[in-house]
Structure 1
């Protein structure tokens, strides 16, 4: 068996597949890039050619991450593709957001899976995570500490709806990431019986429309900017969705008695909730928690686990205690991943 480090290297731009001459989720412009999903810490501008799922390519176009001259190849889950140099590439669902994928590289009888960001909790807005047996598994470690045990999203949505019943005159302003978190929260609220229109910040519009083009139904929603600024009572007892930075910004002053709320995996840490000035914290994460990170590494059967981004040392230590050959890596990039 060949040494996987001879054909999948760590370079300044990220992981580099040597025989196929391409990078995985590079943070700098490169000639050839395999992109696992559309968040800004994995998808960037300036690449000459991009391989991703069709949904991720559409997300990158929507966010202006690909230029007209960029060559794109959209691969649906499971479709095998000759990447060159004897390397076969295919994508498996990562369960993170719409179109998110694990990049599966096969070379000379060996398989390396670059998981990107992933989660194991159910999500009505994207395909569920698929366990792919492999020789090397590359995992993130955003929430790789035992304290992080993510509750079901339905429980956190019920917490929000209970707050609305208790405080019917307040406007619940919920800070959510524009890609993935926003749509997942909206869909789960609908499934829980929330019947009022959603009012959303303009920054959430294009990606919500993109999700709808893929068959998601969020019911009635309206841009806050389309409402008369003097009509504050319109928002009482309703949900307003916006980027997290806006919940305590001047923008929020247009609402009647706003109640700042943040939906994030970090809300499990009280200091983070205080830092965000959230009156209500919802533990909502699009990443695997501690238990799911451990069980995923086990279930892949990988002889080697490479760990990136986040609490690398803690996960490396825990896996080594179980007899798994784990290696913590420190890549240049954004540590607190988008869509947290």
Structure 2
């Protein structure tokens, strides 16, 4: 009988540890060997020895951390390629979260476990769509694991932004987005909806937009927000401006023409969050699976056991138990419920 994954996959202070392979998945501390699911900073940490990931994730790590901190050595693995690591067969499957994001598929002595990292099930022009992998144990996030979280069609949310632009042509619309993934996805969705004018971006978003384009993701014309003298006329009326969420409440935004403060996040489903942040136009656009998608994914992978990480673990475990699936909370620490930290606002 194949060994149960809990005999060879366990939680340590550093993170999720594959014992026979002697590597960690998304460790929160520097370790000798790490497999990284994607480039968000709560999953991709600096200072590891050997790092394995998709070529896009490795490029993102180098761009964000610098060559010297993104791993002493890096090895790229394409989707569907297999690598033997101390007798464990490791492969990567698309996770659909951000560019290069991957699920880690591990097989050892006839037993298969899949660590999904962060994932979404909606179509995204900027990254490869999630692919379910049948397994014995599935490790899932639970960021939006409550029934209240059912994300609307992204096309409807983009239409809200374009309608507001038509209604208030004298105002700039500044949308709070995270630097990695959300920013580029929103740009691509706007292009798909027919917005072919330049989109203005905060300086903290420039580098990763450039990297996406270098990696083959077209974003169309992007321009920096112009510098203006103090006391000068307000700028960019009728234009779309993307910025880190933390930039919207800083003096940086005062140069814009009567800005309509917008935000693109799954958390905009919670009205209190939007109100507390002073968001005038909340857009429910998430890079994580919603409640129904989490349950559907767990059914698709056919795992009799699901391990749940960072998020609403109890609700998901209970719902899975009603479907005859055993759930287990991993209680991993160091992972954010947001997509990632906001980019610094000093770079204008």
In which range does the TM-score fall when normalised by the shorter chain?
over 0.9
How far residue 70 of structure 1 moved from its aligned partner, in angstroms, is: 1.3
Determine the C-alpha separation between the residues in 2 that align with 1:336 and 1:216. 26
Task: Tell me whether 213-222 or 42-51 shows the greater mean CA deviation.
Answer: 213-222
TM-score under structure 2 normalisation? 0.94
Counterparts of 1:24-43 in structure 2, within 5 Å, are 24-43=25-44
Q: Which residue of 1 aligns with 2:94?
A: 93
Determine the C-alpha separation between the residues in 2 that align with 1:250 and 1:90. 47
Q: Are residue 79 (structure 1) and residue 81 (structure 2) matched?
A: yes
Determine the C-alpha separation between the residues in 1 that align with 2:29 and 2:339. 17
How far residue 329 of structure 1 moved from its aligned partner, in angstroms, is: 1.9
How far residue 316 of structure 1 moved from its aligned partner, in angstroms, is: 0.4
Over 3 Å counting, the alpha-carbon distance change for 1:339 and 1:194 in structure 2 is farther
Unaligned runs of 5+ in 1: none
Structure 1 contact 52–74 (Cα < 8 Å) conserved: yes
Matched pairs, number: 338
Structure 2 contact 142–309 (Cα < 8 Å) conserved: yes
Give the match's secondary structure for 2:65. coil
Q: Are residue 136 (structure 1) and residue 172 (structure 2) matched?
A: no
Q: Are residue 157 (structure 1) and residue 158 (structure 2) matched?
A: yes
Counterparts of 1:221-240 in structure 2, within 5 Å, are 221-224=222-225, 226-229=226-229, 232-240=233-241
Q: Which residue of 1 aligns with 2:345?
A: none
Give the match's secondary structure for 1:274. helix
Q: Which residue of 1 aligns with 2:344?
A: none
Determine the C-alpha separation between the residues in 2 that align with 1:62 and 1:307. 30
Question: Root-mean-square deviation (CA), in Å?
Answer: 1.4
Can you list the C-alpha shifts for 1:313-333, whole angstroms capped at 9, x where unaligned?
A: 000000001110111221111
Counterparts of 1:164-179 in structure 2, within 5 Å, are 164-179=165-180
Determine the C-alpha separation between the residues in 2 that align with 1:27 and 1:229. 43
Determine the C-alpha separation between the residues in 1 that align with 2:316 and 2:252. 40
Structure 1 contact 45–65 (Cα < 8 Å) conserved: no
Q: Which residue of 2 aligns with 1:294?
A: 295
Structure 1 contact 148–268 (Cα < 8 Å) conserved: yes
Structure 1 contact 180–339 (Cα < 8 Å) conserved: no
Counterparts of 1:251-290 in structure 2, within 5 Å, are 251-290=252-291
Determine the C-alpha separation between the residues in 2 that align with 1:240 and 1:44. 29
Give the match's secondary structure for 2:191. helix
Give the match's secondary structure for 1:235. coil
TM-score under structure 1 normalisation? 0.96
Q: Which residue of 1 aligns with 2:113?
A: 112
Unaligned runs of 5+ in 2: 342-348
Determine the C-alpha separation between the residues in 2 that align with 1:207 and 1:229. 27
Structure 1 contact 55–99 (Cα < 8 Å) conserved: yes
Determine the C-alpha separation between the residues in 1 that align with 2:105 and 2:40. 19
Determine the C-alpha separation between the residues in 2 that align with 1:196 and 1:229. 25
How far residue 217 of structure 1 moved from its aligned partner, in angstroms, is: 1.7
Give the match's secondary structure for 1:26. coil
How far residue 228 of structure 1 moved from its aligned partner, in angstroms, is: 3.5
Give the match's secondary structure for 1:159. helix
How far residue 3 of structure 1 moved from its aligned partner, in angstroms, is: 2.3
Structure 1 contact 149–289 (Cα < 8 Å) conserved: yes
Q: Which residue of 2 aligns with 1:59?
A: 60
Can you list the C-alpha shifts for 1:274-322, whole angstroms capped at 9, x where unaligned?
A: 1221111000100000000000001101111000000000000000011
How far residue 248 of structure 1 moved from its aligned partner, in angstroms, is: 1.6
Determine the C-alpha separation between the residues in 2 that align with 1:246 and 1:44. 24
